[in-house]
Structure 1
């Protein structure tokens, strides 16, 4: 890959934001205004309601699917966090501290059995399901909406005995939300066609 070749050449180093800040600490501070965005004059409504903001202003479309997708992902996150906290309560330092350490340092040492890896990956999946691009664009059946649904399905698939309950609850939260593409159908149809996590 290009990144691999650049690393081997010594001309570039792949890093993350935390590592870059450690080397180059900020010189000034800024104040962020909550519930605002650069791309939606309605604050953050683009990520939770049918505010009318869209990419393709020349195409008729609706964004009524945004609120059900937001409710579904937030419901799933609440449920997954609960499962993680219950099943991970005996992790070194406690479930939350262990998760933060896993995010800060990469692969976790000391407690890294298969179940721990499953729990961390389940949390990672549900956090990725909150990727803002899923709501930014014009349709739940688009690439970005499908990706959010894939992340949600991945988290659901790692929930063990809770997977079937989470899948049913997630689908119920999606409700009757519809794609702008009649061939794609409902948000539930898109979810099922994108990834079906419950084993048959």
Structure 2
């Protein structure tokens, strides 16, 4: 099927002259594994599947891979999803990876974008964590796809100028934003340049807001691909550009799970639109990096920062709460403060106790993903990061590895979905607290310092407006772990 799409001569030239369509799918699942057992608990609401990863694979990832849709669209596959697919459905995983390779073979550029590793809202992260999230995402991409990423999808398209500048420092050349993230009105049918520090820049593609929103939330729009192409797509072309033969791009960006999971059978809609509907109306189906070759950005734009695609209030949805979600949202600021304070304490311990073995503890953390996943040997890692290029004695190395692993789970606790929804008493905040507890456990084992007590004190004011469960109640309700893996639970709490 991939070969069928890539050899389709109808994609070679637009009847309208220079009309292009790009569909971007953001394929991502947050980590659901118990961080102590590394197993996903049974999720009854995913029945007849054992968990939602299995359900969404059957409804979305597998059919889109088998139909060849990944070969024609622009897409990013989140690292936590990629890692799960690689283990549990390697044939689906490989088809998705091969789609990018097929695109390179045909056009000389890939169609896959990287993703910041833990789907963290980067404007709310520290500068150091921004570097780690971006570097981990780029390293994961390079390992899986076999080449460096030139584009990166940012969680919720949340940006500030610092995170864009860090992207540019590491060789990323483009990203995708919502049109309302521009400080002034823009023409979303063309890319723009954002000027950054020291002569650096970033190309940004603004997706078509009405079409992307309609595809996501209005089922009637995606019931017939011919009607969609002939009415909605052509209706969003800029007539002046059309008359002048100027190139223009319609970019539709949505969650990838839309195509078959959130909306059943929409994988078929996507396949037909790519192969028949759009070409019949004169659109060439194109991907973002390829379009940059055809028509590089020439205009500059100023951005609203911080901003995101699913919050009208900057990034308040993931910090202090806002009217983007129903109910009382003060729990969000309390939970974020608890996680941030835990991370601050953990960072101090990490820096203090690894200074004697690492030349630069934070550079070692940035490279830890490759060591953890076996992409780099222990000898190579220590020759680059050990003091004087030396591997430490066994006990110190063991302690350093525990502290690196604690940093790994600290990063997991800031997954964006923790704060996306309306209430504290949900699986997403509970998972974030579980990842934080795993970090507490690892630091307890490494240096015998109790970070649990202060974390629980910080969690106590966080409360569900629906069930009145507190953050401490959620912590106490987590699965039991073996004795000795956590500090003693404080009495009376």
2:454 equivalent to 1:169: yes
Q: Distance in 2 between matches of 1:126 and 1:16?
A: 25
Tell me the secondary structure at the aligned position of residue 25 of structure 1: coil
| Structure 2 residue aligned with 1:85 | 351
1:150 corresponding residue in structure 2: 434
Matches within 5 A, 1:6-45: 6=92, 11-13=95-97, 17=114, 18=138, 19=142, 20=145, 22-23=147-148, 25=150, 28=174, 29-30=202-203, 33-45=304-316
Structure in which a larger fraction of residues adopt strand: 2
Residue 49 of structure 1 is matched in structure 2 by 320
TM-score normalized by the length of structure 1: 0.80
1:192 aligned residue: 476
Alignment length, in residue pairs?
190
Higher relative contact order (CA 8 A, sep 6+): 1
Q: CA offset at residue 156 of structure 1?
A: 0.7
How far apart are 1:94 and its partner, in Å?
A: 2.1
Q: Which residue of 1 aligns with 2:400?
A: 116
Conservation of the 8 A alpha-carbon contact between 1:49 and 1:63: yes
Distance 1:170 1:141 in 2: 18
Deviation at residue 194 of structure 1 after TM alignment: 2.1
Q: TM-score, normalised by structure 2?
A: 0.35
Alignment match, 2:424:
140
C-alpha distance in 2 between matches for 1:75 and 1:86: 17
Q: Does residue 5 in structure 1 map to residue 94 in structure 2? A: no
| Residue 100 of structure 1: aligned partner | 366
Q: Return the alpha-carbon distance in structure 2 between the equivalents of residues 137 and 42 of structure 1.
A: 15
Counterpart check, 1:63 vs 2:329: yes
Rg comparison, structure with higher value: 2
Q: 1:122 and 1:24, CA in 2 relative to 1: closer, same or farther beyond 3 A?
A: closer
Partner of 2:191: none
What SS does structure 1 have at the residue aligned with 2:321?
A: coil
Moved more, 123-132 or 27-36: 27-36
Structure 2 CA distance, aligned partners of 1:102 and 1:33? 33
Checking the alignment, whether the CA contact within 8 Å between 2:409 and 2:439 is kept in structure 1 is: yes
- CA distance in 1: counterparts of 2:113 and 2:408, whole angstroms: 17
CA 1:21–1:138: 2 relative to 1, 3 Å: farther
In 2, Cα distance between equivalents of 1:24 and 1:173: 39
Change (3 A) 1:70 1:24: closer
